[in-house]
Structure 1
Amino acid sequence: MDRADQSTSPHSTAYNEARRVLTGNWAGASTVPSRSLYPHQWSWDSAFIAIGLRHLWPLRAQRELETLLDAQWDDGRVPHIVFNPSVPLTAYFPSPDFWRSSTAGGAAGAPREVETSGLVQPPVHALAAWLTHRADPATSARRGFLRRVYPRLVAWQRYLTEARDLGGQGLASIVHPWESGMDNSPCWDAPLSRIEPVGSETFHRADLDHSCPADRPTDLDYGRYVRLAENYRDHGYHDGSRCHRFAVEDPGVNALLAMSEHALAAIAGALGRDPSDHLVRAEELTTALVKRLWDDEAGLFLSQDVIAGEAIHEYSAAGLLPLILPGLPDETVRALVATARGPRFGLGHTTRMVPSYDLTGASFDPARYWRGPAWFNVNWLIERGLRRHGELLLANALRANLVSSAASSGYAEYVDPASGEARGTRDFSWTAAVTIDLLADPPAPASGSGIERRHRERLVPVPSD
């Protein structure tokens, strides 16, 4: 039974349609992002999906995360895809027979009973687990939800902060563009240019059977993605720095890594444990993020190419995601808000939602996957960050546009950031989930300047709900 009846809400149509999407994409133990384009379980999708499900069916939200964590490897990694064995191999590429996780990943402790990929995605899971618990603490406590997921989430964090600190500077590296979640971002063009692609005749892209080619990565990009994944697989998914041809410190991934330590601190406290270790780690990660990836001239956090030893001067929405963190210097917050509102992202001026990539960049494309379109999960995070730092007017406007764009686009995978035109597939699960989450919590009234409100609210528990 639903936790809330929204039938009399002004947003009842949007709410009920979003609920319909999540109902239709539920696969029995987890939720597929899309019935056609993505017919398995994806890692960070499930985290956002749980955040929405908690308002409807808290037990289902718990199961969403538990199913994903059941596929965790012994080294702590949470794979970015958990494959459903009942889905034909031809339904998605790369399929389980490409990854060969249970054999090629044996040394890293890949599970034997389920096939997964060997890559990871951004760590939103601790935040999702904490918010899911708070939605129904009684059921969570009765089932031992936090007690069971906490050690798994800690192992996931330690994998990223230890095995993936390839630059030795206290930040996690991604070893494939797919690990950023922002798969086809122009930020990866320069490091990818070093990769010899496999020929397009060597694989069949199932994504093009379900989506417009103009919305998707090119065959050249895919050829490089496949080459990188093959190399990682053929090295047994080993994380020694010499095995990798691509290693990048991404600000979005590392901001979420720091946010996860705050969430783990909250979970530890709820379990009667000392949260101080998590809070120290969160502070260390935030300090390293600012020291290593902040660029004063850009007014944005930039990715760092670990192999080339240089910053990547491409401007993506990932560089705004550290707004979700408490403890950023005031001047950094001011600069990030100015950049979000400025010509590169146009928030509140030329765009309805934050684009995934710089509007003024030579590679900007409002239709093509992560090269310009606006994504609902990214904008949910940015809305949360703006609200955390007291930018309530801007956050409220973004929230309203996010909800209206989701509904008008048919819960699209992503949209044109200016017009809101639907791109990618429709009935997309995390679009529906974040819509449910925003509709469930009315926005706070805005008064005073952003920095003033931020200082007033510093004693609000982190992560706030």
Structure 2
Amino acid sequence: MSSLLDRPAPTAAAHLTLRRGAARVLIDNWTGTSTVPSRTLYPHQWSWDSAFIAIGLRHLSVRRAQQELESLLAGQWADGRIPHILFNPALPHDAYFPSPDFWRSSHAGRAAGAPSAPETSGIVQPPVHALAAWLVHRADTGESRRRGFLARVYPRLAAWHEYLLTRRDLGGGGLAAVVHPWEPGMDNSPCWDPPLQRVTPSPPDSFQRADLDHGHPADRPTDLDYGRYVRLATDYREAGYDDRAAPHGFAVEDPGFNALLIVSEWALAEMARDLGVTGEPHTSRAEALTRRLVDRLWDAEAGLFRVRDLGSDTLIDERSVSGLVPLVVPHLPPGVVAGLRETLGGPHFTAPATSLVPSYDLTGHAFARTRYWRGPAWFNTAWLIERGLRVHGHHADAERLRQGFLAEAGKSEFAEYVDPTTGAARGTRHFSWTAALTLDLLCADPEESTS
């Protein structure tokens, strides 16, 4: 691990200042029903953002954390999917692209069970929601039970997992597939480059990007990549968002996505037991998914998990932080845990200027220190890896990462991500999940991740 992780621990006063700053970000980004990731770049409600936000909000207001998750679940489709964006109807359509009139969820998604309102996107994001719901419940079990929180969200979250494990088992190997680069949450990772080469991009004059109004072009996906994203989303929409009928020009099994599904299956087992029913089906499913994850995606020689391209049925030869996120999965084989820990501390992911983990191999051919998910280090993946280190008993490593996370969150004004080579804050500032996960690392019981 880098010597940057060996800084002296901040004082109680510094932690209080950090807590107040993080709380202010979440208060400022609250809309009355949910929290936007950013008032400028991301002005609607995003799926996995809201899950991470709820994890932090539970330390400020358990009721608001519950509302964060339940407002997201209000956009769930009848087929079980939780869409990656719920659109705020009060905002103009050009506030974000792709906009509601691009996705046309209430019309194009009608057969798949899209709600008539709110308008949503048609794709999904990583299933961290059940873990978030369980942590929110545990923050105040009395309040949760009085309000019937678990009883309301458990069946919805179970349906969400069922969707992923049936309609999205596109490779036949028992793992969930993603059908758009935005679905794993790591939007333009170099891991997506090989399968994207098979996708014909939409013409540049057929869409108008809104992200460049608030983000520097050097930080954002290229126009060529965006054209491919638009093509994939258009084809999915024209197929009625039907996973069996859509052509799926892009389909991969992502290790981070499936790792979060496993962790959330363990959370569903805990929820079921709390509600007085057996959690065994979820426990069995989590164990089976763990075996499949290792069998299909683990690369022992590289010491991390790979993405499987279902178009060619091969592992993609790229090292991404997604391949380290499975450290959060309990009951991994000891050799896998040792390999992940060695890779985490090795040259591919030990950054010279941050204690966070780069999103892509520092020595990789496609490394770009400021471009979205092609190198920058993110706070949410660091939170997951910190939790994973604790799950497997590596508490000293976890504590060093935690201290580095907190220092950099405050220094960067709760930035979206940081440049791993200079430590400079990049992306938008006052980013909600950075603030929320800062609160969690300040306030949560360190033993919580192991119970």
TM-score by length of 2: 0.96
2:122 — aligned with what? 118
**Equivalent position SS for 2:324:** helix
Amino acid at match of 2:401: L
Where do 5+ consecutive residues of structure 2 fail to align? 1-10
Aligned to 1:25: 29
Partner of 1:246: 250
Question: For residues 379-424 of structure 1, what are the alpha-carbon distances to aligned partners after superposition, in whole Å with 9 as ceiling and x for unaligned?
Answer: 1000000111111221111111111111111111111124321111
From 409, 418, 438, the equivalent of 1:406 is 409
Is the Cα contact below 8 Å between 1:101 and 1:117 reproduced in 2? yes
2:145 to 136, 141, 144: 141
Pairing 1:45-444 to 2, within 5 Å after superposition: 45-240=49-244, 243-346=247-350, 351-441=354-444
- Partners of 2:143 and 2:71 lie apart in 1 by 17
Contact 1:54 1:61 in 2 (8 A): yes
TM-superposition CA deviations, 1:157-188 (whole Å, max 9, x none):
00001100000000000000000100010000
* Contact 1:352–1:418 under 8 Å retained in 2: no
Identity %: 63
Question: Contact 2:390–2:450 at 8 Å: present in 1 too?
Answer: no
The one-letter code matched in structure 2 to 1:322 is: P
Work out which structure has the larger RCO, using CA pairs closer than 8 Å and 6 or more positions apart in sequence: 2
Match of 2:338, SS state, is helix
Q: Distance in 2 between matches of 1:247 and 1:172?
A: 10
* 8 Å Cα contact 2:380/2:433 also seen in 1: yes
Structure 1 match to 2:3: none
How many Å separate the matches in 1 of 2:218 and 2:201? Answer: 20
CA distance in 1, matches of 2:399, 2:327: 16
Distance 1:9 1:241, change over 3 A: farther
- Partners of 2:216 and 2:394 in 1: how far apart? 37
Matched position secondary structure for 1:222: helix
Q: Secondary structure at the match of 2:335?
A: helix
Q: Show the counterpart of 2:46.
A: 42
Query: Aligned to 1:437, what secondary structure does the other structure show?
Result: helix
Any conservation in 2 of the 1:353–1:418 contact (CA below 8 Å)?
Answer: no
Shift of 1:281: 0.2
CA distance in 1, matches of 2:401, 2:186: 20
Amino acid at match of 1:191: P
User: In 2 relative to 1, CA 122–371 (structure 1 residues): closer, same or farther, beyond 3 Å?
Assistant: same
Whole-angstrom distance in 2 between the partners of 1:18 and 1:278: 34
Offset of 1:351 from its aligned partner?
4.2
Shift of 1:464: 3.9
Separation of aligned partners in 1, 2:246 and 2:101: 26
| Shift, 1:203, TM fit | 1.4
1:86–1:350 Cα change, 3 Å = closer
- Could you list the structure 1 runs, at least 4 aligned residues long, displaced by more than 4 angstroms after superposition: none
Hey, what's the Cα distance between the residues in 1 that align with 2:290 and 2:347? 27
Counterpart of 1:402, as a letter, is F
Contact 1:305 / 1:312 at 8 angstroms: preserved in 2?
Answer: yes
How big is each residue's C-alpha offset from its partner over 1:115-153, in whole Å with a ceiling of 9 and x where there is no partner?
Answer: 000000000000000000111111111110000000000
Deviations 1:32-81 (A, max 9, x none): 00000000000000000000000001100000000000110000000000
Aligned mates of 2:418, 2:91 — CA distance in 1: 28
Q: Which whole-Å CA distance do the structure 2 matches of 1:367 and 1:10 have between them? A: 29
Number of corresponding residues: 441
2:353 and 2:423 in contact (8 A); partners too: no
Change (3 A) 1:233 1:441: same
Distance 2:251 2:338 in 1: 30
Query: Residue type of the partner of 2:213?
Result: D
Query: Structure 1 residues 442 and 242 mapped into 2: Cα distance closer, same or farther (>3 Å)?
Result: closer
Cα distance in 1 for residues equivalent to 2:436 and 2:73: 20
CA distance in 2, matches of 1:50, 1:137: 15
Letter paired with 2:439: I
Q: Look up the match of 2:5.
A: none
> 1:201 offset after TM fit, Å?
1.9
**C-alpha displacement at 1:242, in angstroms?**
5.9
User: Contact 1:414–1:423 at 8 Å: present in 2 too?
Assistant: yes
Match of 1:244, as an amino acid? H
Q: CA deviation at 1:442?
A: 6.3
Segments of structure 1 that go 5 or more residues without pairing to the other structure are: 1-6, 445-460
